[in-house]
Structure formats: structure tokens, C-alpha cells
Structure 1
Amino acid sequence: MLSELAFSADDLAHTRFAVSPMWQVVTSFQLLAAGSAHPVHNAWMGQVRPRLTAAGLDSGWLADLIPAAGYLPDFLNPFPDRPAPTLAAELAAIRATPDDQVHTDLDVLSRTGARIRALRADPEGRLPRLAEEIETYWQLALAPYWARIRSVLDADVFHRARQVAERGAAYLFNDLHGTVSWDDNTLRLVRRQCEISRETTGSGLLMAPSVFAIHVLTWSRPPHPPQLAYPARGTGGLWEHRPIKRADGIAAVIGRSRTVLLAELEAPASTTELARRTGISAAAVSQHLTALRNAGMVSPHRAGRFVFYARTAAAESLLTAD
């Protein structure tokens, strides 16, 4: 199937990028729903799946609404009104989705089940429950890794913006993905399940990189510009081991135990996990994590009874800088 999106000068003038948390939510959950191994994300999937199962999210609202392949309900990806919307802002937009939009999207999704029927019957009453589950999923699956994910997304946007500045929009579109091409003021997308055209969208274009997308996805809800979510450049190195370059020097400043804990937090972990891995007592681990949190080097992420600690972007910069 071939979709064509014509562009006027005004459409190009209103083409922009956004880093959207919800695009990371839907594409990552779809990846997990597929259930198959992935050459890049296997380590992340291995860490996250047991948490989601323990929290019951493998059979919740998201599992009903996000299939392993195919259409994703548009209301899960509200149009970003700024370059980097917060998850809270996007969840507020989801909770405010008009009933008729929910009904339209569920018709296209064409799935059955108790939750789908309940959502169709009472969108206003059920969407807050969905938003609450998304928040839990975020805390378990994405928030502990957000510093790394966000750095890849920001780097992709910077790279694409530089492409436009140095070589023009045509080069940007032709370099975006193998299924996307630009010719004669028209953006062409092949092998898509849903057609998209300028007649069924608003003007302009919003482009959203995702580290979990395996192909290009589109979104269309007039009068908004269409959204084009695409695989972010640099995702291949997202989970690569990043050795600590100056461990002895860092330990001389913050202490050996705290340096060891930061090294272990290359993958987010709980206090109990850190104590087991390092041999440091749970009480001492808790004290060290408090000090590191106060210094802005780790951040806690709570979802129900789960609390995971992750290195912040500041800690990543300190530990891996040349």
C-alpha cells in the first residue's frame, strides 16, 4: 500500500519535531506484546517483563488496546503542543479525549473484551483508569531508563535539524527510513496498513522519534497536522555497556561504595538487588542511595510496591565522559 502526503510551502513551514513520552509508551509496549527476541532491546525486555507480570500489566488495559502489530488507537498519542511534552500533560489529554473519538478509534481497532466494552460504554469514567495504568507502566518500564532514552531522542532531533539546515528537507525525508521517500513535493510511505493523505489531515507535519519503533507509524486527526513516528537514529547503542573511565578518581571523591553502586546502576535496580549484587548491607545501600539522590546522581522510581533506582543524566555524564 502506498500513501502520499502532498506538501505546500506552508506545510513545510509548519513541519517540526517533538519528543513524546507516549510514543515511547505505545511502541515499547507493542514490542513487548510481540513476545519475540529483539537484537537491540533484549536486555531491556528481560528486565522489564517480570516487573510488568508482577504488577499485572501484561493483561491490563494496555494489553487490550495495543496489539503486537497493526493499528494503535490514535487517542493514545495526543498531539504534542510543544517540543517536549511531559507524560503528565499527555495523560491529561488522554483523559480528556471526546467520547466520539474513543468510539471511532475502537471501531478501527476492532477488538473485543470486557475492558474494550467498558471503555466504549463509558469513556469519561474509564480513561482515568487507563491513564493510571500508563503511569504505572511508565514508572516500571521507562522512567528508570529515561536519561538514556532521552539522550538518544534528543540526539536524533539535533541530527535531523542539522540535515535540514545543511542539505534541505528532501534529504531529511529520504534519509528517514527505507519506507519513506520524498519527490515532487510529496512524501510517500509504502507498506503501511492505514492510508494517509493531505485530504484527511491538517496542514504541516509533526515528526516524533522513538527508540522502540521498528517501522514508521502515522497518526491523523484533523485539524491537527499528521504525526509521523519513526525509528530514532542511534538506538543500536542504547543498551551498550558504558565503562566507567575514571573509577578510582571518582571513588576518591564520593567513596568506593557509592562508586560501586553507581556502576551497578547501569541497569536500574532496587535496594535489595543492589545489596545482593555488591555485598553491601541493605541499610548501607539505602544510606548511600539517599546521599546520591540528594546530589542529583540517582533518581527513585516508584510504582506500587516497586521502587527502582536509576542513574541520572548527570551521573551518566560523570561516569562515562572521556
Structure 2
Amino acid sequence: MVVRYELVGVDLAGVRFAISPLNELVLSLRAWRDPGRYPVHLPWIRELHSVRDRLDGTTLNALVNNDLWVPDFLTPRPRSPLTRLDDELAVVAVTPAAVVDRDLRLVHPELPPALRGKRLLARILDALTEYWELCLAPHWPRMRALLEADVTYRGRQSAQHGLAAMFAGLSERVSMTGGVVEVRVRTDVHYTRSATGGVTLVPSMWTQGASTPISPEEPPMIMYRARGSGTLWETEPLPAPGALAGLLGAQRAGLLTRLGAPASSTELAVRLGVTTTAVNQHLRALRAAGLLVSARHGRSVLYRRTELADRLLDVSGR
């Protein structure tokens, strides 16, 4: 089935990226429900076994159906790349009871016992908060860095190649023709609506391709698979030419080797499994030596090699 968002005039300028801790929290329950569909996250899933008996697993499991749908009210449209979980939970906490019931019944036509009774919304939020604190909060800096790196990449792609190319790069299920953005979904959802104010694009580690809200009454939003999700729990080796490593040190020589294409310190930190602070120290030193140049792109600073650095790498044999 297909969801279409119609962008007219100023709506095109309203295409924006945002990061949602709450979306990641709720969508990660898909892996809780069916670990076999998320093999790249098995290292994290194994960690859950040690804390599962401390969580409200009955409620958490009930939030996802057999098709891995989750209720729309738990995945509200985030407002920026800096969205905080507490702010999102506050929005959900005031969701009208009729909306909660509607969205739950779109996921479960026959509500399971865990999703009935008094204080339902409060119980759901309590279960999610505890789940966050025990299972996601310890890893969130690493996760957020990966999502921010994706946003930086997509913004650069849009600036260099245009909106249509950027949309096509999100997923094979997404395309843009004229002012219409089309998302082909695997579920029984089909609607066309005006995207007044634009479309919010949200990278996620827990979607296989691209997805949109089930209800056309929800604000226009596309969640798509973030670049690098498959290597989230891995660290890449940092190659460093021997001669250059002797001159600059292994870490700085390795970073120089990586920066043939522009990248942010956040993106490098995720790929290498180190802190952003450590990467920034090395990048500043390399820039001061004339081996890197930097340029601001949105909220990020991108670094790339200079011609001097290229010559050094050629001499050292890369």
C-alpha cells in the first residue's frame, strides 16, 4: 500500500530532520518481540535478559502486534534533532483517552488484557520509563551519535543533489515526483494527504526500510533506517600507514586516512567506537597543522583532508 504526502510551495522548505528518543524507545520493542528480525542488535538484546524480570514485560509486549506495529500516539513527531525524552513523554502524557483507545485498536482490534483498565496511559508511560532507564539510557550516547551522523549526511546530500535525490536515498520504498512524496508500505495502509508545513524525516535503528504513521490524522512523518545501523555494536579498525603513524601518532594518522570524504566528529566517533571528545582533540590538532579543513554544515562541522595531507598519505604509501 502507499502513503502520499503532497508538498506545495513553502511546504518544500518545511522538509526537516529530527531525532526522537521516544520513537527509538518504542520501536526497539520490535526487537524485544521478535529478535530474529533484528540480528544486528543481538548483542544488545542479550543484555536484556539480565534485567527483564525487573520490567513490566506484559505491558511492553502488548504495545507491539504480530506485524510489529506500534500505536501512533507513542511515536509523536519530534520537533528537532535535539529532542529530549522527557519532553516527548510530557506530550504523550496529555494524549486524550479517545486517541489512546483509537490508536491501540488500530494495532489490536481486540485489546489484550494488559491494555485495558484504569490508569492505562500512566501504566504504559511507567513501563516505558523503566525500560528506558535500564535498557536504552546506558547506550543512548552511542545511538544518538549514529542518528546525528545520519542527519548530517542526509543534509549534505540534499544540499548537493536536491530533495528528490535525498528522498530516494532514504529507502527504496521512498520517492519524490514533483511535489509528491510517496512511501510504499507493507501494511494495509493507504492514504494521500496535504503535507502543510512540510514533512519530518526521522532516522531510526529499528525500521527495515521506511514507515509512516498508520493514521492520516497524524502529522506527516517518515521514519527510515539510519545509515550505519548494522555496525552500531561494532567498532571499526583505524588504519594508519606506518610511516605517517610514526610522525603523527596512530590515532591521528588513522583519522587522516579516513577523511578522504567529509565527516563530522560525531560520525567518526560512532564508527570508531570512541568518544566525540577524543576525536575532536585529534581533529583540532590536525587542522592546526594544516592537514584538515573544516566547514559548518547545519549544526555539524565537517572535516576533510587538505592537499598537503593527500601528499603526505601518497608519500607514506597510505
Is TM-score (shorter-chain normalized) higher than 0.5?
Answer: yes
Aligned to 1:186: 180
For 1:223 and 1:144, the matched residues in 2 are separated by 34
Tell me, yes or no, if structure 1 residue 197 matches structure 2 residue 192.
Answer: yes
- Give the letter for the 1:67 counterpart: N
How much does 1:314 deviate? Answer: 4.1
Contact 2:28 2:206 in 1 (8 A): yes
How far apart, CA to CA, are the structure 1 residues paired with 2:39 and 2:279? 24
Structure 1 length-normalised TM: 0.69
Partner of 1:7: 7
Q: Is the 8 A contact 2:17 2:80 kept in 1?
A: no
Q: Which residue of 1 aligns with 2:65?
A: 67
Pairs within 5 Å for 1:1-322: 1-36=1-36, 38-48=38-48, 50-57=49-56, 59-110=57-108, 111-118=110-117, 122=118, 125-193=119-187, 194-199=189-194, 202-219=196-213, 225-241=219-235, 314=277
Q: Distance in 2 between matches of 1:128 and 1:183?
A: 43
CA contact (8 A) 1:216 1:228 kept: yes
Q: Tell whether the 8 Å contact from 2:16 to 2:200 is kept in structure 1 after alignment.
A: yes
Counterparts in 2 of 1:318 and 1:136: CA distance versus 1, 3 Å: farther
Deviation of the 1:95 alpha carbon: 1.1
Matched-pair contact (CA < 8 Å) for 1:208–1:229? yes
Which stretches in structure 1 are left out of the alignment for 5+ residues?
246-310
Distance 1:73 1:104 in 2: 9
CA contact (8 A) 1:3 1:192 kept: no
Do the aligned residues in 2 keep the contact of 1:174 with 1:180 (CA within 8 Å)?
Answer: yes
Partners of 2:94 and 2:275 lie apart in 1 by 32
- Structure 2 SS opposite 1:219: coil
**Equivalents in 2 of 1:147, 1:239: separation in Å?**
13
> Matches of 1:64 and 1:38 in 2, distance apart?
19
Measured against aligned partners, the alpha-carbon deviations of 1:207-255 in whole angstroms (never above 9, x if no partner) come to 110112212121266776311111001112211135699xxxxxxxxxx
Q: Which amino acid aligns with 1:197?
A: T
SS at match of 2:130: helix
Q: Distance in 2 between matches of 1:19 and 1:159?
A: 14
Report how far residue 205 of structure 1 moved.
Answer: 0.6
Match of 1:41, SS state, is helix
CA contact (8 A) 1:61 1:133 kept: yes
> Quick one: which amino acid aligns to residue 8 of structure 1?
V
Q: Secondary structure at the match of 2:40?
A: coil
Give, in angstroms, the shift of residue 108 of structure 1: 1.0
2: CA distance between counterparts of 1:158 and 1:190?
25
Letter in 2 for 1:190: R
CA RMSD of aligned residues (A): 3.0
Contact 2:35 2:42 in 1 (8 A): no
CA contact (8 A) 1:179 1:190 kept: yes
Question: Which amino acid is 1:113 matched to?
Answer: P
Cα distance in 2, alignment partners of residues 318 and 239 from structure 1: 24
Letter in 2 for 1:195: H
2-side partners of 1:240 and 1:316: how far apart?
Answer: 17
C-alpha distance in structure 2 between counterparts of 1:38 and 1:82, whole Å: 27
Query: 1: distance between equivalents of 2:60 and 2:82?
Result: 23
Query: Aligned partner of 1:96: which letter?
Result: V
| CA shift in 2, pair 1:102/1:202, >3 Å | farther
Assess if the C-alpha contact under 8 Å between 2:105 and 2:111 holds in 1: no
Deviation per residue, 1:251-295 (Å, 9 max, x gap): xxxxxxxxxxxxxxxxxxxxxxxxxxxxxxxxxxxxxxxxxxxxx
The gaps in structure 2 that reach 5 residues or longer are 240-273, 287-318
Partner Cα distance (2:66, 2:51) in 1: 16
Residue in 2 that maps onto 1:256:
none
Q: Does the CA contact (< 8 Å) of 2:18 and 2:200 recur in 1?
A: yes
Paired with 1:62 and 1:234, the residues of 2 have a C-alpha distance of 27
Instruction: Report the Cα offset of residue 12 of structure 1.
Output: 1.2
Percent identity of the aligned residues?
32
- Measured after TM superposition, the shift of residue 128 of structure 1 is 2.0
